[in-house]
Amino acid sequence: MNTPSLDRYADDFERLRALPPAERETALAALPLDDEARATLRRLLDADTDADDPLARALGAGAARLAQPRGDRLGPYRLIRELGAGGMGTVFLAERVDGGFAQRVAIKLLRGFPTADGLRRLRQERQILAGLDHPHIARLLDGGETADGQPWLALEYVDGVDLLAYAAQHAPRLRERLALFDAMLDAVGHAHQRLVVHRDLKPANVLVNAAGEIKLLDFGIARLVDLDAGAARETSTRVFSAGYASPEQREGRTVTTASDLYSLGVLLGELVGGRADRERAPAPLPLDAELAGILAKATDEDPARRYASAGEFRDDLDRYRDGRPVRAAPMTGAYRLRKFVGRHRVGVAASLLAALALGLFVWRLDRERDRALAAEAVAQQARDASQRDAASARAALAFLTDAFKAAAPENALSRQVSVRDLLDAARRALDAEQADAQVKQTMQRLLARLYGGLGEKTIAVELMRAGLAGAQAQERGEALRLAADYDLLGNELTSADDGADALAAANTADALRKRYAPDDVIERMRSLLSLALARNRSGEATQAIDLLRQAIALSEQQAPPLDLEVELTGSLAGLLATNSDCDEAARIAERGLRRVAAVRPADAPERRELLRAQAFAMKTCGRWAEAEAPIREAIALQEKVIGSGGSDMASLITTLADVLTQLGRNREAAELLQRWEVAIGGAKLGDVEMASLLAYRADLLDAAGDYPAALDFDRQSAAALDRANVGADHQLRRQLRRNQARTLALSGDYARARSEFEDLLERAKRIDGENSIEYASVLWQLASAERLARRAEAGTAVLDEAMRRWTALAPPDHPIFAYARRSRAVFAMLRDDYATADREFAEALRVLEAIQIPPGDLATVRSERAELWRRQGRTAEARALLAQALPPLREAFLPNQVGRAGAERTAAQLGMK
């Protein structure tokens, strides 16, 4: 036997070698090997104690070749030292050496070299695992492959000791140990809800840091290691730890969440009962019949007889600690009486002392009996809820399995099957399925969430409405799930005629949380977010901002999950930007991006909404050039995570087109829209979303100078708002009318434009007040319309009032003040006050040239000054300035665009081409 031929035994040898000698034979017997290979491994293990054994030296060399990466770098990480090795690979301590911040991580170099297909599936699974965000789960931060194709993972580095060692030193009492285990159950339950199974729970994968905080390591990584097996079903025949693996794992049968519950049961047994063959094991504690019953149920040989979920396991332990009947014990009358006495020792003692007062004794006994029966009813209700959840989950899993089989490549006659294909297949199957009503509604709500994630809001709303019809909560867990579903329904109700329904959905979610989780800070934050979004849809932006500020203030009491924190931050930044508080919006979005960067990789999907909010803030501040980079990054993330379709992508693309237009890159904007037209057009949009999209198109055409086409899109946008029953006072309706009135003025219909602006001004005064940004904005646009109409006196009066308002609302360096000087220059020129006009033009251009406004806008102001110089007889200067202005005007605008048309008239009068 030559040395290279032993490489194939290296992984199994290293894993078996790390086990206690008493466990090796069991683990070896469970490996899928032939007799010869098993005998070879046994000889290698027997010889391992002999340092001079040639087989051991050969195997060690093979293992070293597999474990050691080339050089001391993996991606952006520098390896510091090896932390350990085991069945799944070698672990190194490493630090990040790029990105401008220090971060220590644990790098796990996975054993084996998967096939190309295995690597592809590994990357997919890695994305799922990266989505686990729980305070007691070590996060998966990054991943990749070495130059040789060996996969590696970057995990949160946890400096701590394993569970049993910590319990031995710091948790002498049962309550303390059960508190540690409670945190484990919470983490495992979080992962199971996301269909992630650990598969290798053991003391070494549960660390406790100096602060006493639990961290579960290697969540789902055993699954990643198994990906190169090419198995078509979820079995585990390769990676598990003897003594902790469930019977189905050891026998190579299907692995489910029940497998993790078995391992947890073993861990709990060692945590409370001790382990004789382990150094520094926690001292064994007395194990009463109830706790023994809980352990027996968790570690039952039959997965169907174990706890249905981590939540049910946790609930039984809560009942045990509270002295209530546990599900794992037989519910006999004697057992209930014993539990009753145990819970009410003082009451029973008092009753015995009052035995001579027979009437009082009977009364007390009767009352306590009622309490016992009430407690039993609560227990039965919880048991029934758990059984309903388990039955619903099994039915839902069976339904999804059948639906996804129908969409598999071999059945769909296609090599490529997208997430959307799978969802559509499930939706069709659900429509045709004669399923139990509760299961069907559960699936409808699940599919609604998935469609919503793809940006298919209309389908999501339809499914969620059906899934919530008549749904009732009977206990806390059900109530919080329903509240989350009502949140989603409210978020997806983007049609303004659904504004009341959106608010009703948010109020329903809030009521459920107040009833079933009144003291839960995180749930209160979720309700405030949902209510804020609903208020904003109803045009109550100020109230929405106040609600979001309340939610963020609560985060000082308890840190929210990252996804909730991102949504709160992004929503507040977006609303502040919409209401022209762009500087604070930009600061909030940037703070959120720094927070995400500290804990997630650079391409984390959580960045998307914050980037969108950041770009919108930059737009509102007039910092168009700075807005381009974040909106492009948001588009790239959207395409990577979701795909090129959906209403969210439509919104991002039109935002980028708007930015490009403002930068004078109109042709690039038009090409962008044309390239994405299929994706945008294929989005199933609500009427309000469609109205916004059409209004974007109108704005782009308006900016380019195609006023008839812009007005046509404005009319289509207004019709979409009509279909949605958007009222005349709604903020979105008023914004559309302002843009349409501007286009009317640009097209020469000054009377209609003036009438629209005057009506909007009255509404702004009534709804927002004379000191509002809305009122000041309408005044500004009315002044611009009077400038286009060449009405100097009327325009000057309106402009003066507008700037009095803006002085109180905007900082002195805001671009609007430079544009106001430009308007004053035009009004002065119309009055033949050329000296004043030239001073105003000079000051306006000084500021506008310094702040990098769109080239077309800057060229327009220069061409207007050139016209002034022509009138003053400064022909040579006028020609020179106009020669500078004409190329960008002709590049950015159509011939009929107002600024370009005026410049062309001046050029003709100066004899220029």
| Catalytically active residues, by annotation | 200
Q: Which residues pair with 96 in a beta bridge?
A: 77
* 178 phi/psi in degrees, rounded to 5: -70, -30
Q: Which two tokens stand for residue 146?
A: 């070495």
* Residue 748 DSSP label: T
Residue written as token pair 């308006």: 702
Beta-carbon neighbour count of residue 899 at 10 Å? 20
How far is residue 105's CA from residue 79's CA, in Å, rounded to a whole number?
9
Which helix (H) or strand (E) element contains residue 420? helix 419-432
- The C-alpha atoms of residue 485 and residue 854 are separated, in whole angstroms, by 44
CA distance linking residue 717 with residue 692, whole number of Å: 7
Instruction: From 564, 563, 583, select the one nearest 573 (Cα to Cα).
Output: 583
Nearest 5°: phi and psi at 104?
A: -90, 140
- The helices-and-strands tally (H runs, E runs) of the chain is 41, 9
Kindly state the helix (H) or strand (E) to which residue 108 belongs, with its residue range.
strand 104-110
DSSP state, residue 887: H
DSSP state letters, 630-665: HHHHHHHHHHHHT-S-SHHHHHHHHHHHHHHHHTT-
- Token pair, residue 516, equals 């079933």
CA atoms of 493 and 465, how far apart (whole Å): 10
Q: Would you give the distance in Å from CA 154 to the centre of its chain?
A: 21
Q: How many CB atoms lie within 10 A of CB 578?
A: 19
CA distances from 490 to 510, 534, 712 (A): 12, 7, 31
Question: Is 606:620 a contact under the CB 8 Å cutoff?
Answer: no
Q: Is 458 helix (H, G, I), strand (E, B) or coil?
A: helix
DSSP bridge pairs for 78 = 73, 95
Which of 211, 212, 237 lies closest to 226 in space, CA to CA?
237
Spatial separation of the C-alpha atoms in residues 209 and 203, rounded to whole Å: 14
CA 57 to chain centre: 50
Question: Per-residue DSSP letters for 810-860?
Answer: S-TT-HHHHHHHHHHHHHHHHTT-HHHHHHHHHHHHHHHHHTT--HHHHHH
User: What own/partner pairs with CB < 8 Å and gap ≥ 24 does 726-730 have?
Assistant: 726/496, 726/497, 726/688, 726/691, 727/496, 728/763, 729/539, 729/763, 729/767, 730/496, 730/539
Rounded to whole angstroms, the Cα distance separating 252 from 244 reads 14
